[in-house]
Amino acid sequence: MKIRQFTILLILLQGILSAQEWNGFVEFSLSPKFSQNKLIQSVSAVPANGRYYALGEQRLQLKFEHASDRGDLFFKIDFINDNVLENTKLDVREAFFTTTPVEWMDLKIGRQIQTWGVGDLMFINDVFPKDWISFFAGRQDAYLKAPSDAIRFSLFPGLSAIEAIDISLMPFAQSDLNLMTEGRFASRDPLLGQLLRDGRLTPTQTTSTEWNNAELAARLQLGAVKGFTTALYTYKGRWNNPLAMRLDSQTFTFSPYFAKLQVYGASSRGAALGGIVSVEGGYYYSEEDENGDNPLIPNSSLRYLALYERSLTTTLDIGVQYYGEMIRNFSSIEKNYQLLLAGNLQLLDSEAFKD
């Protein structure tokens, strides 16, 4: 962890010192909460200001750029004074080096924002980290995308059938900044449905620097056919949220963790019906709960979306989006839930409880 921070700092310094160009902005944000929920006020981890404000901060963003024959360096750093959490922090949003070592390949190394898929603020094959706190607290939309530390290869085979192949290797698995992690929002215990009194859910298993936590995301972009571009995706890593629970049979306590996940999907987008039509689907294969009978691990699911966008007037566009999820082995979830209601834990349809 320390090596990682040191390396980033070193690259940062190098970048700042050599930057050919820099610019940025200063931003003041405030979003008050209009209803003071007594329940939320009873949560100890919600900071004093957090009871009245979802957001209250001053942000300075600086961007540095340095282009050379060998490649380009880019840095984007936010300095934040946060009045809700009552702290100041430095957030390196982007710090990468990008180069074209051979004509048919682009390389991007470092902290970067990664996005793919065709949904509008809905993500299926995009399993890159998201910052839900920023999204719900009301920061700019761009902050929904959290950066990931990655080595990204983009290959351009020069064939009409294949437009590009992107392979992103993330050595340190990264998770979403979900609403449970900061204490800015009160959240519920996913298992008991009660408000978490300390306001936070701390996953036992960190997804940091262990090599077996490395994640891989890949996309194959096919050449356009009749104006429609189609892509195939795959991902192998972990769920971005600690949706799975591990049971300590000694103390009979549950602790959340990031279960293993594989995603296989496809998308297509093109001009049709007087606008832009996009479709995307993906199969979320929950490796650790193959049969879907473990109530402590999310089941596999099929996710899909369809989006239609068109311009209505010269300055107004509209978009309509449909999103769906089909959870596999849903009957097991129902059965487990019934048993849970009946308090009959021993009969739960799962290996996890049969020790």
Partner 1 sequence: MKSVKTLIVTLFFLASSSGLFAQDAEALMKEAHLNYNYAKDDGKAKVVMTIVSSKGSTKTKKFTMVRKDLQDGGDQLYFIYFKAPSDIKRMTFLVKKHIDRDDDRMLYVPAIDLVKKIAANDKASSFVGSDFSYEDVSGRSWTEDVHELIGEENIGELAAYKIKSTPKKEDYFTYKISFISKKDKLPLREEYYDKKGNLTRIFTAEKLEYIEGVPTITVRKMENIAKKQYTQIEFVSIKYNIGVKKKYFSERYLKKPHAVLK
Q: Taking the complex as a whole, how short is the minimal distance between the CB of residue 175 and partner 1, in angstroms?
A: 18
CB closer to partner 1 out of 71 and 190: 71
CB closer to partner 1 out of 290 and 309: 309
CB closer to partner 1 out of 23 and 346: 23
Residue 41's alpha-carbon distances to 152, 184, 186, in angstroms, are: 44, 11, 9
Q: Taking the complex as a whole, how short is the minimal distance between the CB of residue 305 and partner 1, in angstroms?
A: 15
CB closer to partner 1 out of 41 and 98: 98
Question: What are residue 107's phi and psi, to 5 degrees?
Answer: -125, 135
- How big is the CA angle at 242 (ends 7 and 338), to the nearest 5 degrees? 175
CB closer to partner 1 out of 81 and 268: 268
Q: What is the CA radius of gyration of the chain?
A: 23
* DSSP, residue by residue, 140-208: -GGGGB--EEEEEEEE----SSEEEEEEEEESS----B-TTTTSSS--B-TTT-SBPTTS----SS--S
d(CA 56, CA 188): 24
Question: What are residue 340's phi and psi, to 5 degrees?
Answer: -65, -45
CB closer to partner 1 out of 130 and 328: 130
Q: Taking the complex as a whole, how short is the minimal distance between the CB of residue 293 and partner 1, in angstroms?
A: 38
Q: Taking the complex as a whole, how short is the minimal distance between the CB of residue 173 and partner 1, in angstroms?
A: 19
Nearest to 142 by CA among 181, 167, 115: 115
CB closer to partner 1 out of 112 and 332: 112
Q: Taking the complex as a whole, how short is the minimal distance between the CB of residue 72 and partner 1, in angstroms?
A: 8
Q: Taking the complex as a whole, how short is the minimal distance between the CB of residue 142 and partner 1, in angstroms?
A: 4
Q: Taking the complex as a whole, how short is the minimal distance between the CB of residue 23 and partner 1, in angstroms?
A: 5
Burial of residue 284 (CB within 10 Å: 0-12, 13-18, 19+) is buried
Give residue for tokens 């009194």: 197
d(CA 101, CA 40): 54
Token code pair at residue 244: 């799975």
Residue numbers at the binding site for partner 1 (CB under 8 A): 23-25, 63, 67, 76, 98, 100, 106, 112-115, 141-142, 144-145, 154, 156, 163-164, 221, 227, 269-271, 274-276, 278, 309-311, 313-315, 317
